[in-house]
Structure 1
């Protein structure tokens, strides 16, 4: 259980309350510091998976905790941006993204119980959604459109990427559902 990748994943979970507290501190760069912590946590997600494969330290505990850690920190970030921006234009895609995560988690759990988890394994579409979502959240959390007086349009890009990730999210949800449809609609055999 105490492998390097698992420790990194646990660190990501422990960063969630730090991220939330820092983001809401009453000082000038709190939002940017919170966005940096979120970015750091996102990088550890890639890093722990890479190390698990490279060091041959994949474990059942890591396979369980990694997606949980991802969903927890993303859910926290989505809640935080809906609070900070307080607009339907952020709330609607945030609800869609969170709903998709719950739906796909339940679908994967059910398919796993049927011994068919490979049908709903992570796809390129899911990975693209995650990348767009993470970049959107970093931009929106940072609330930065200017850096040292120069326009960088992080927030505007964050809005665009949030909607792009919501579209990819809906698309991947439909794609996973279609892939699992035969299993979902089979009649149960009475034994």
Structure 2
């Protein structure tokens, strides 16, 4: 098993620790600890991709596991936010549903021997979602912080919708193959 795949597995194992500090450690310290764990897990996502590409370590395991690890990490945070009353459920359902749709498209494409690369809007969606999660974990209070949080949630939601529509528009042909 190469270093990129080990980092992906590490990210999966970080998810229970992320949730543990959120649920067990008293606020605000639990949120701060969760912020650090989530930030480190997010960095492993970037690092494993960089190492896999730059050192020619791309594997079928990594192609499958890396996006799954990302989805699990993000879903864990988003579901926690719904339970904590920090995000409306419809936002979380929208973000997670987009991931299922894109994964379905990629699966169909793969069965036809095609690979669908991530789009720029998908990358912006991912980055905006990560920033939103990190910001919400800080639990900043006050009217200015509240509005920044609202704007980050709105931007991540718009980017989720935009990237989904763009993805479907550009790749609908895979169903006609």
TM-score for both structures, normalised by structure 2: 0.91
Per-residue Cα deviation, 1:32-54 (whole angstroms, up to 9, x for no partner): 11122111101110011111122
In our comparison, the structure showing a higher alpha carbon Rg is 1
Preserved CA contact (<8 Å) 1:128 1:168: yes
**1:51 match:** 51
- Unmatched tracts of structure 1, length 5 or more: none
Quote how far apart the aligned CAs of 1:31 are: 1.3
Preserved CA contact (<8 Å) 1:9 1:45: yes
- Residue correspondence of structure 1 range 110-149 to structure 2 within 5 A: 110-118=108-116, 121-145=117-141
Q: Does 1:171 align with 2:162?
A: yes
Give the root-mean-square deviation of aligned CA atoms.
Answer: 1.9
Runs of 4+, deviation exceeding 3 Å: none
Preserved CA contact (<8 Å) 1:24 1:31: no
Q: 1:50 to 1:152 in 2, by over 3 A?
A: farther
- Measure, in 2, the Cα distance between the counterparts of 1:44 and 1:96: 25
Preserved CA contact (<8 Å) 1:20 1:34: yes
**1:38 match:** 38
Preserved CA contact (<8 Å) 1:135 1:158: no
**1:158 match:** 149
**2:26 match:** 27
Q: Larger helix proportion, structure 1 or 2?
A: 2
Per-residue Cα deviation, 1:38-72 (whole angstroms, up to 9, x for no partner): 11101110011111122222211111110010000
- Measure, in 1, the Cα distance between the counterparts of 2:149 and 2:106: 29
When the two structures are aligned, how many residues end up with a matched partner? 176
TM-score for both structures, normalised by structure 1: 0.84
